[in-house]
Amino acid sequence: MKYEAVIGLEVHAELSTKSKIYCSCSTGFGAPINSHTCPVCTGMPGALPVLNKQVVHYAAKMGKATGCTVNKLCKADRKNYFYPDLPKAYQISQFDVPICENGEVYFYVDGEKKMCRLERIHFEEDAGKLLHDEIDGTIVDFNRCGVPLIEMVTRPDLHSAAEAKEFLEMIKTTLGYLDISDCKMEEGSIRCDVNVSIRPEGSNELGTRVEMKNVNTFSGAVRAIDYEIARQIDVVEHGGTVQQETRRWDDVKLKNTVMRTKEDAQDYRYFPDPDLIAVEIDDDWMKQIESEIPELPISRYERYLNEYGMTAMEARLISESFAKAELLDAAAKSGKIKPKAAANWILSDISKYLNDKNVELPATKMTSMKLVDLICLIDSGTISGAAGKKVLPAMFETDETVEAIVGRMGLKQVSDEGAILKIVQEVLSNNPKAIEDFKAGKNVTGFLVGQCMKASKGQGNPQIINKLIAQELAKL
């Protein structure tokens, strides 16, 4: 029998606020253990939470970007469960009235456009972290307690690990476009729980789902999903029944193990948090949120394909970086260059510089007009493409104009035919062996061009050099 996988995801993203969701403690990563704590985030008796307004703003922003209905009135609820790194023995989250509901996320898999519905987006506080050490045993670090999260819960619309990965990539890219999360997976800023079930191919009934925790990378999500699909098929084909349970994914051993029988919502004994008032988003606030949403990655990807003539891979590589997409569009709007030319520089030398220096584009002095000027100088023959590559590092590091950098480095290309003719004639005179080879039918143009470029200290216009060499050889 053939089976179809049905997959749902719960994606958690830490928000880039400076302080925690219900207190003023820093959210900075990597601080000494338990140094970013206070009575509120460690659950001391009598300590009262105060909601961080920026959390609401960011959550609503993600909701608008994913087509959700943003509820103008929502509330906070207590989700009760005990865990060693949850000091209050409950988590302040949202239950029946989340801030965002009924959205949709579009993405591409192998050139085919897909859509996954979002059931809800809600904000909540993160738990702490258990640090295991062979010498000291287990230490509880409460620094992460109270760091604001949004949780994005999908409908069961995904049917393969590949679809899940592309959905996750689009969520990550969208968060980056909105500048509401740093999405640093190595720091746990974005992670997910995976729900997987199987059913006979063609069936519309949902099977028994299994939830997997501890999925910390997108590639790990692919491995976890593929493993769980195969495990469930094996259980069913050997006469067993898939149990509803929570399992822990081990990305080193590439297998999952049972953690506990899956709880249902009623097991958490949700109730409205009595210490927090309802949250209301008025019309002016909503307009401000909407005004901050840029053109989103899926729209840019499709526009780059249709308007800029880029390949699917080129469009994806640029559209998944907000800074690179902004640089490309600003350069294209100048009307002085072809967008494809700017894209080529962004994907090659600009990306290489950023990777080599391990720096983000906004942290450099590169601007769209600098890129336009560089391309224009090359197109006009003022400098060569090779010279452009030499100019590029200074464009990132100084406020100088491209023309000033070219002048300072002495890279302006010589295009005066009279001056170049003298160089060509001198090179031909100094290379009688090349003349003999030419007369014998050998192709010596490449060698002679190289000698002329060397004689001109790299400043001769290669097109003019080629033309003049051809003319001089034709006279022989």
pLDDT, tens digit, for every residue of 278-317? 999 999 999 999 999 999 999 999 999 999 999 999 999 9
pLDDT digits (tens, 9 = 90+) for 392-406: 999 999 999 999 999
Which DSSP symbol is given to 83? -
**Distance from C-alpha of 342 to C-alpha of 269, rounded to nearest angstrom:** 56
pTM passes above 0.85: yes
Those residues with Cβ within 8 angstroms of residue 405's Cβ, 6 or more apart along the chain or in another chain: 391, 394, 395, 398
Radius of gyration of the chain (CA): 30
Neighbouring residues of 65: CB distance < 8 A, sequence distance ≥ 6: 174, 177, 178, 293, 296
User: Would you say 68 and 174 are in contact if contact means Cβ atoms under 8 Å apart?
Assistant: no
**175 touches 162 (CB < 8 A):** no
What is the 8-class DSSP label of residue 460? B
Under a CB-based contact definition with an 8 Å cutoff, are residues 181 and 189 in contact?
yes
The whole-angstrom separation of Cα 399 and Cα 397 is 7
- For 89-99, how does the pLDDT look when each residue is reduced to its tens digit (9 = 90+)? 999 999 999 99
Contact status, residue 88 vs residue 319, Cβ threshold 8 Å: no
Residue 229 pairs in a beta bridge with none
Strand 73-74 relative to strand 279-280, pairing: antiparallel
pLDDT exceeds 90 at position 10: yes
Question: Given the DSSP bridges, would you call strands 129-133 and 90-93 parallel, antiparallel or unpaired?
Answer: unpaired
Report residue 268: phi and psi, to 5°: -85, -10
Sign of CA dihedral 100, 179, 166, 9: negative
Please tell me the distance from the alpha carbon of residue 316 to that of residue 109, in angstroms, as a whole number. 12
Question: pLDDT digit string (tens) for 322-367?
Answer: 999 999 999 999 999 999 999 999 999 999 999 999 999 999 999 9
